[in-house]
Amino acid sequence: MIVEFLPGAPREAVERIRTLLLTEGCDVAEVFAGRVVMLIADRHWQTPPLDLTSQVKANEWVADVRGLETLIPKVGGDALKPFAVRGFRFGGDDLALIAGPCTVETYEALLQTAQVARRAGAQFLRGGAFKPTTSPYSYQGGGEEALQALAAVRREMDMGVVTEVMSPAQVERVAQAADILQVGARNMQNFDLLREVGRSGAPVLLKRGFGATLDEWLNAAEHIAVAGSERIILCERG
């Protein structure tokens, strides 16, 4: 059961429903999507009991009560609806080609790479501004200067940009320079980051974490979708 509250619902209203669900033996998780609070209750029901549903709906702050269907289809389920980014339709019949350097070094080098990638048929340019590295002494990426280079090449080439975001604090700034936010394999289960990129509403490229099962990967995507963005691209690691 998913219980969605009206924006600004007082804490006591949420706690009343939480207590009711716990009394029924449910496992209860709380999810925030902007100013909206949702309680997700699981007791492995096919359908929640009607009397419980009626009690929950009687709370004046409850906006919606629905079954525990997920937004992201599970293995073998129907595909998500296709979506377009800069005119390219993900989930359609065309192959998406995203190419570019691991790390953005200079504007000039990035522009040359974008020109080569475009001639080879790429619709999107990727390049890292922030780099997760194994060693703390390795190059960590160009940061703000690299983001400016990505934004400039996007304007120059009229080409979509994909770049990785490493922390919730970076999401707003990175979304200004990129068309698609990448969540790397190391951050696949960084739930604060997943929720923040979801709240941004931007398309998200979610890489599969090291050793992650399909269900773990899809549940990571679910965090993004619940927070506000269902435009998600699942990307296996190379």
What are the structural domains, with CATH classification, of the chain?
Answer: 2-66 (3.30.70.1140), 83-235 (3.20.20.70)
CA–CA dist 13, 231 (Å, integer): 32
In contact, 198 and 223? CB cutoff 8 Å? yes
List the structure tokens of 81.
Answer: 């609806």
pLDDT at position 33: 63
DSSP tag of 213: -
Q: Which residues pair with residue 38 across a beta bridge?
A: 4, 31
Report strand pairing: 2-5 vs 62-66: antiparallel
CA–CA dist 21, 184 (Å, integer): 36
3-class secondary-structure state, position 131: coil
pTM of the model: 0.71
Percentage of residues in the chain having pLDDT higher than 90: 54
pLDDT at position 76: 46
CA–CA dist 32, 7 (Å, integer): 10
List the structure tokens of 216.
Answer: 């773990």
3-class secondary-structure state, position 195: helix
CA–CA dist 35, 64 (Å, integer): 15
pLDDT at position 11: 92
Of 65-79, 83-97, 178-192, the one with minimum mean pLDDT is: 65-79
Stretch 119-144: mean pLDDT, rounded?
A: 86
Phi/psi at 183 (nearest 5 deg)? -110, 115
pLDDT tens figures, 8-46: 899 999 999 999 988 888 888 887 766 778 887 776 555
CA–CA dist 62, 42 (Å, integer): 18
